[in-house]
Structure 1
Amino acid sequence: MRIGLITPEPDHPLLAATAALLTPEHLVETLDPNTVGEVSEPLADVYLLKARTPRALALARDLEQRGAPVVNSAAATALCQDRTAMADLAGRAGLPFAATRTFITLAQLASGPRLPGPVVVKSRHSRRHDLVARIDDDVQLRELAAAHPQEPVVVQEFAPNSGWDHKLWAVGDQLFAALRRSELAREGRGPTLPLAADSLPPGWPALVRLVGKVFELDVYGVDIIDTGDGAPLIVDINAFPGVRGQCGAPEALAALALRPPRVPG
């Protein structure tokens, strides 16, 4: 088989380890969306989309229109970059997703009514180094708005929790998990601690699988906080995250690349 990696970083640990597993018997090619234009025929058997830039999504859409399977699809990847669309789809599907409100700009949010209690303000469009901040009062909000006045944002009520995020990742048929101290914790983001998938509260693995089905994702991450008594609250969903340091993740991604692609819808 020929497997294409759509990424500007083929040395990413997950991709590099996956390529090393595949190359003894298969051809692995890298397509840097920053430099590659139209891909010539014949196309690869499958492409892994580990990039979210407009150029990467345009390249993936072109490949899909020409009949090539892309994991995850360009449409599914783009959906996970829009936190408003993400929350809307999750709500319609009955997923326990954090209630989300959208504001055209942060300046608009700051000029409106006083926010009720602590909230989490996030960039509407998920990207590297985007905005994620806990706001406890109007002073903090005005300071944030002064620094990012034109940033489109979403607002979620802050749910009391332990200060640790459950990072759950699905790679094909495999589920991986870890605990990471939230970047919203007063101590700041802390280390990532390994967590056995079979130690998750009842129903959580099935919830992650349901997210994949609803969002039509094969490689994805689900950020969950435990609001008490094991009740899960989804606060974010990511297409093709790094899944760093998870034993077995490269093997799962290699197996996914070699299996027949999912049929959208």
Structure 2
Amino acid sequence: MRIGLITSSPDHPVLAATAALLTARGHHVEVLDPTAGPAGPDGPNDSDGPHGQAGPFDPPADVYLLKAHTPAALSLARRLEERGAAVVNPVAATELCQDRLAMAELARWAGLPFAPTRAAADPAELLRAVEAGELLLPIVVKSRHSRRHDLVARVDDPARLRALAEEWPDEPVVAQPYLPSTGWDQKLWVVAGQLFCARRRSELAGPEHAELPDGDGGFGPAELSAERAAVALRAGEVFGLDVYGVDLLDGPGEPVVVDVNAFPGIRGQAGAPEALAALALRVGGAAPGVPRPRADGTGPGTGTGTGAATPASADAGPGTAAG
């Protein structure tokens, strides 16, 4: 079987381990680097592309793992989908997770306990809402469109928001109420229905949160409550994802989702490469022309729906209070 990796970092620990497993089983792993230039599904049909990029692209590989989320990577994956290739995760689902407002609207419409989310054209718009008494502090301000080195900041007073307005003058943003927590996040990763988890220090944590409250960094599926596990698995159904991450606030209370990520790093999780390799073989092994089921058994032909749900209406516009 031919398995394509859409990434500019094939040495990423999870991808490298997955590729090694697949190669050892006699499968051919190809790297498609979206930064490599014109070679691609619409480019020259050469046997080898630049920077180690493999080809040919016609016919496409049996399955592609979409790890990179840049515009170039998404464009490449979209052209492959148009040629009938199977892509994990689908481009539409990946793009949905990059728009934090659309993500929040869909999650809340589907009944997931997602943090209330309000959109604004820029931080200055949030500042005006605070000054008018329409938005209560503290809040968390994030770039609306998720990407590397984007804006994520806690705002406790108008002065901080005024500074963000000066630093990020044209940045579309979302605001969520700041909810007290331990300063740590519960990172839940799912690969084809298999759960992995760990605690990671929140980007918003202060120096008082340097250590875990219980002094123990150990956190695995055995310590994960059934309620939180169910939330993570439900997120995959809602967003149409097979490889994804769900960030929950740490603590003993009811779960609150603050983010959903398509194809995250899943670093340091024993069994993740094996799960990813099995997923690639399962999706890639579907007969050509037959609707491919999701790896967790849902999807076309299973009676449980396909792809992400669609909210009936949006209700988190500028007039919606965050809190």
- List gaps (5 residues or longer) in structure 1: none
| Superposition pairs of residues 29-108 of structure 1, within 5 angstroms | 29-35=30-36, 36-39=38-41, 40-108=57-125
Does the residue aligned with 2:130 lie in a helix, a strand or coil?
coil
Letter in 1 for 2:227: G
**Greater share of residues in strand:** 1
Contact conserved, 1:71 with 1:219, CA < 8 A, in 2?
yes
Contact 2:19 2:29 in 1 (8 A): yes
Residue 33 of structure 2 aligns with an amino acid whose one-letter code is D
Whether the 8 Å contact between 2:130 and 2:136 is mirrored in structure 1 is: no
Indicate the residue corresponding to 1:237 in structure 2. Answer: 260
Cα-Cα RMSD: 1.7
CA distance in 1 between partners of 2:209 and 2:28 (Å):
39
Q: C-alpha displacement at 1:249, in angstroms?
A: 0.8
Does the 8 A contact of 1:3 with 1:29 survive in 2? Answer: yes
Residue correspondence of structure 1 range 216-235 to structure 2 within 5 A: 216-226=240-250, 229-235=252-258
Contact 1:72–1:218 (Cα < 8 Å) also in 2: yes
What is the match of residue 201 of structure 1?
225
Counterpart pick for 1:252 among 275, 295, 301: 275
Structure 1 stretch displaced more, 253-262 or 143-152: 253-262
Structure 2: distance between partners of 1:10 and 1:229: 38
Distance 1:37 1:194, change over 3 A: farther
Indicate yes or no: 2:158 matched with 1:130: no
Give structure 2 stretches of 5+ with no counterpart.
Answer: 42-56, 284-291, 300-305, 308-323
CA 1:217–1:190 in 2, change beyond 3 Å: closer, same or farther? Answer: farther
| TM-score of the superposed pair, with normalisation by structure 1 | 0.95
Q: Where does 1:117-196 land on structure 2 (aligned, <5 Å)?
A: 117-187=137-207, 193-196=217-220
What CA deviation, in whole Å up to 9, does each residue of 1:5-47 have, x standing for no partner? 0001101111001101110210000001112543230210000
**195-204 vs 251-260, which moves further:** 195-204
8 Å CA contact 1:81, 1:125 repeated in 2 = yes
2:261 is paired with a residue whose SS is: strand
Q: Flag the 1:23–1:190 CA change in 2: closer, same or farther, 3 A.
A: farther
8 Å Cα contact 1:173/1:252 also seen in 2: no
3-state DSSP of counterpart to 1:78: helix
2:235 aligned to which of 211, 219, 231: 211
Change over 3 Å in CA distance of 1:182–1:46 after alignment to 2:
same
Identity %: 61
What is the distance in 1 between the residues matched to 2:230 and 2:205?
A: 28
Summarize the alignment of residues 14-29 of structure 1 with structure 2, pairs less than 5 Å apart. 14-24=14-24, 25-29=26-30
Aligned letter for 1:250? P
Q: Distance in 1 between matches of 2:211 and 2:7?
A: 26
Preserved contact between residue 184 and residue 209 of structure 2 (Cα < 8 Å): no
Q: Name the structure 1 match of 2:314.
A: none
Query: CA offsets, 1:102-160, max 9 Å, x none?
Result: 00112222233334121000000000111100000001111111111111100000111
AA matched with 1:255 = A
Question: Which amino acid is 1:208 matched to?
Answer: A
Tell me if structure 2 keeps the 8 A contact 1:10–1:16.
yes
Q: Mean alpha-carbon deviation: is it higher for 250-259 or for 193-202?
A: 193-202
Number of paired residues?
264
In 2, Cα distance between equivalents of 1:230 and 1:249: 28
Deviates more, 1:111-120 or 1:60-69: 111-120
What letter matches 1:215 in structure 2? Answer: F
- Measured after TM superposition, the shift of residue 173 of structure 1 is 2.9
Could you say what secondary structure the match of 1:84 adopts? helix
Quick one: which amino acid aligns to residue 178 of structure 1? A
Shift of the alpha carbon at 1:231? Answer: 0.5
Give the structure 1 partner of residue 2 of structure 2: 2
Tell me if the contact between 1:182 and 1:190 (Cα under 8 Å) persists in the aligned partners: no
Q: CA contact under 8 A between 1:183 and 1:189: conserved in structure 2?
A: no
Structure whose alpha-carbon radius of gyration is higher? 2
Distance in 1 between residues matched to 2:274 and 2:206, nearest whole Å: 36
